[in-house]
Chain A
Amino acid sequence: MNSIEIKNLSLNFGDVKVLKDLNLSVEKGEFLVLLGASGCGKSTLLNCIAGLLDITDGQIFINNQNVTWYEPSERGIGMVFQSYALYPQMSVEGNLSFSLKNAKLSKEEINTRVKNASEILQIEDLLKRKPAALSGGQRQRVAIGRALVRDVEVFLFDEPLSNLDAKLRTELRVEIKRLHHKLKNTMIYVTHDQIEAMTLANRIAIMRDGLILQLDNPKTIYNFPVNKYVAEFIGSPSMNFIEGRLDGTNFEFDELSFNLEGYSFKEKIKANSQVWLGVRPENIVINEADKTMPVNCDVVVEVVEPMGADTLVWSSLNGKELRFTVEGNKIVNIGDKLNVGFDPAHVSIFDFETEDRL
């Protein structure tokens, strides 16, 4: 059953087309992450779902009900904002109960709901405080609580953790995951942060210029990106791209040639077409023994960036830049000549013109 279904959604701000004929369906209980560069329309899409923006065209269904022209409060959604957006003059309790009081719920009902929510979010001790007297993490918990008490079907998060420091972000990320596991609500979560996206999502939607480029589970997106943009966007350090010609299963560039037997092509390839070869840094390994990897080449190390658990090596392959990671305890020096290799099953090949996956 679909919890949210968006059909042919368009949204223009005057002449600016922000969302273009967008389709999306989210299953009940699913955690969907919207990921994309700044300005690609993630917040706009979320605001459309919430009913905070009047859409130009299309339809929105929540729980199989056409809510396109419903008020935000009637849609059965709760939303959590980057800036928390708590009511500063009210205590935490006031913040949590404001919507319920306004909806004229009974006192007991309000009390039980506030109590439940504050137990789940562990903010029972803070109920009497004003938002100004809370830390960022606590404020964001209260903001989540405000959505929680309303007993809604769908949670919308707009970069909820962006204002927090790295450590707190990790903590709250885990907590949101736990919350989702417990409540089993549908959640749509906007973020810039790949790690948040990869760890939280059931499915990730990669957006660009108001369109969804790929919508799939994190593993598939990571391993089989549908085009070069997605491949570049996901993964840090980002993928290596080598421009060359594809002749059968032979990839040729400069004087070098790799045999890519083992790569599963989506379609039959024209002979001698120009392509991008994409290899993730972590799929490249140094050949210890005698050429264990099917594809091999010699590189010269140029820069070494130790990052603790592993080390990122920037090297030069015939003058082209090639990044790869090695284990942190491995000693690599600038100027070293190394033989590295990778498995063609783990590469991605994109058409040079359309940049789509082949």
Chain B
Amino acid sequence: MFKKAQLERLFVSLVMLAFVSLAISIIGIKPDIFQKLQFLFLTVAIIFVTLIWAQSKTIQFNSNRLRKQIFGWLLSSIFSILIWSFAQKDIQSIFPSLKGYRKALNTLEPIAIYLAIVFILFALILSIVGARDSRLDRPGYIERTLVYNLSSKIAAIPMMLTSVGIFIIATLWTVYHSFTNSRMLPKSEFIGLAQYERLWSSDRWYMSIENLAIYGACSLVFSLFIGFLLAALLDQKTRFENTFRTIFLYPFALSFIVTGLVWQWILNPEYGVEKIVRSLGFESFVFNPLYNTDIVIYGILAAGLWQGTGFIMCLMLAGLRGIDQEIWKAAKIDGIPMWKTYIQVVIPMMRPIFITTLVIIAAGIIKVYDLVVAQTSGGPGISSEVPAKYVYDYMFSAQNLGQGFAASTMMLVSVLIVLIPFAYLQFGRRKYD
């Protein structure tokens, strides 16, 4: 029915699924259900071990390396069982000193059971497939995943824990609580989609999304375009290139708050551009974008571009510098005009840089918050609200966690909708390149 390698892969996935269930139950989301789920996964994993054994029908310990590995897993499993047993009441009554650590031990208990089972399974499966593989003299999937380069895997554990902990578990936690009526503190009282209904019937949220769309589209197009243009100009063996580069990059060294304040002053009618032009004699000149609900987002856009474009330019310049000068010479001899060389030869060669830049710009767009706070605080009215501000305000000022979580979940969903096809294209294509 299955190939051996497929079975092995399924086994590893089951162990991982069990781990995810365990993690979810530990953070307190429906602990009873997820604990059962975890044991279900582990049971199926055990069935898979038997299936794999049924196919190969050998349990051997014929190489020294293998014996060491199996021994190691068994030892770890005994250690886990020991920890588990310390959490049991009977053992604690024998060793009263353990009672002091009761709380910690109780938290560790489910992890210890999980690890004990999984380690025994690892030892078992290694003795089955490891035997086969040592005959073929080539390590199989299990051995490669579990044992190969063990030290680097151990070194990666903190990173993995952080990324799993923060990105996956915290995300799941947020999504889960967006279906509850949590207010100041997270609660587990389900109210279905009510938070989302409220979110999508709120004018402020609509305004935020509209603003983000305008800001995002414009800032993507303009910062790419202006950044590339500046880089291309600087690449023409410009004099004082270093000076220009420094000037363009300076704003990037400022924080968004400072940028926001600076631009608030520049755009302020009382002491900014309007004042200056009026003092030149044009008394009827009006320029106060930050007080005009229709164009306030463009005022914020200007500040964002001013700050971000220099950095984009530097990335692009680095990309342009990476292009072999002989390519330019060849294009000149072929009689290709410069703009055409840029579009048809140079920009396609800079694809990796463009992708990096795109990701950086996109991340900047999604998280735009402080610029708005510093310049307009979302005003006038709600006309310069953005989603990140909506989330922040509901979570920390309005003390409505559920609403904030619902909004951030919507942001996450929209990012995923954009990102998944993009990543798919990106990684899917690498195979053919």
Contacts and interface: CB of A to CB of B under 8 A. Distances in A.
Interface of A: 47, 50-52, 71-74, 77-79, 81-90, 98-99, 102-103, 132, 146, 150
Contacts of A98: 334, 336, 344
B214 interface: no
Interface string B336-355: 11001000110011000000
Most buried by A among B332, B333, B337, B340: B333
A99 B336 contact: yes
Interface string B384-403: 00000000000000000000
A165 to B, nearest CB: 20
Contacts of B327: 85, 87
B333 A79 contact: yes
Contact of A87 (B332, B337, B345, B433): B345
Nearest to A100: B334
B334 A150 contact: yes
Contacts of A81: 326, 329-330
Contact of A99 (B329, B334, B349): B334
B335 interface: yes
Interface residues of B, number: 18
A87 B324 CA distance: 10
Nearest to B341: A87
B345 A52 contact: no
11 contacts: A52-B333, A72-B333, A72-B335, A73-B332, A73-B333, A77-B333, A86-B330, A88-B348, A88-B349, A89-B349, A102-B335
Contacts of A85: 324, 326-327, 329-330
Nearest to B351: A89
Given A82-B326, A85-B327, A72 B332 contact: yes
Interface of B: 324, 326-327, 329-337, 340, 344-345, 348-349, 433
Contact of B345 (A47, A51, A89, A103): A89
Given A88-B349, A89-B345, A102-B340, A79 B335 contact: no
B333 A78 contact: yes
A74 B377 CA distance: 60
A77 B334 CA distance: 9
Contacts of B326: 81-85
A102 B349 contact: no
A183 B334 CA distance: 20
Contacts of B348: 88-89
A99 B332 CA distance: 10
A71 B331 CA distance: 12
A47 B326 CA distance: 11
Contacts of B340: 102
B333 A102 contact: no
A86 B332 CA distance: 13
A150 to B, nearest CB: 7
Contacts of B337: 102
